[in-house]
A and B are shown apart, each in its own frame.
Chain A
C-alpha cells in the first residue's frame, strides 16, 4: 500500500470555526488531490496540486483553501466551517500521466460540522 495518511481521522466542530485537514505521503508522488464524498454524489474534487506551491481548483472549491509547501504534505483548510461541509474527505496521490498507474487514496477523514 502507498504510504498516505490523513489527520485527523474524525473531527467534530462547530459552525464558523476554522478547520485544517492534513494529508501526508511517503511516495514522493507529484500530484495530490482532496476530494469530498457525499451520498448520491460520489467523489468530488475540491482542489489538487501538481507540485510544491502549485495548486488548482476543482469543481467544489468554494469555502476551501489548500497549501502545499513540501512534496509530502497537502493541507486542506476550511476557513469558517459550515454544516454543508459535513462530509468524508479523502486525499489521494498519483504521478502525472503517462506515469500514472493509479491513484492512491488515504483512509479518509470524517468531518462533522454542528
Chain B
C-alpha cells in the first residue's frame, strides 16, 4: 500500500478549465510538497505546505491536516501546464511520493 495516493491518475482538460488534483496520505507528516515533472523529465517544486493554503499565480494548494488530504488547483489552465504533478510528503527524514497525475491541457 502506498503511503501517498493521488487522483486522478490521468486528466485531460480544455484550455481555460479549472483543474483539481487530489492527494491523500496515511503517514504522519511535517510537510507536504507538490512537484511538477515536465515532459522532458525535469522535476521542480511548486509548493511546500504544512498547513492552510498557498497561492502562486494560477496555482493554489490547500492542505487539511486532520483529514490527511491536500488539493492542487490550477485556474485558467494553459497548454504549458501539461506535465505530471506529484504529491510528496515529508515523514521523518524521508519523502514519500505519489505516483503522479498526468495532466494534458488541450488548446
Listed in ascending order, the chain A residues whose CB lies under 8 Å from chain B are 31, 33, 35, 40-45, 48, 50, 56, 58, 88, 90, 92, 96-98, 100-105, 107-108
Enumerate chain A residues within 8 angstroms of B88, measured Cβ to Cβ: 43, 103
Q: Is B41 an interface residue (CB 8 A)?
A: yes
Enumerate chain B residues within 8 angstroms of A90, measured Cβ to Cβ: 43
Whether B99 pairs with A42 at a CB distance below 8 angstroms is: yes
Enumerate chain B residues within 8 angstroms of A43, measured Cβ to Cβ: 86, 88, 95, 97
Whether B41 pairs with A108 at a CB distance below 8 angstroms is: yes
- 15 more contacts with CB within 8 A, not counting A35-B97, A103-B88, A105-B45, are A42-B97, A42-B100, A48-B94, A50-B93, A88-B41, A90-B43, A97-B90, A100-B48, A102-B33, A102-B48, A103-B33, A103-B45, A105-B42, A105-B44, A107-B42
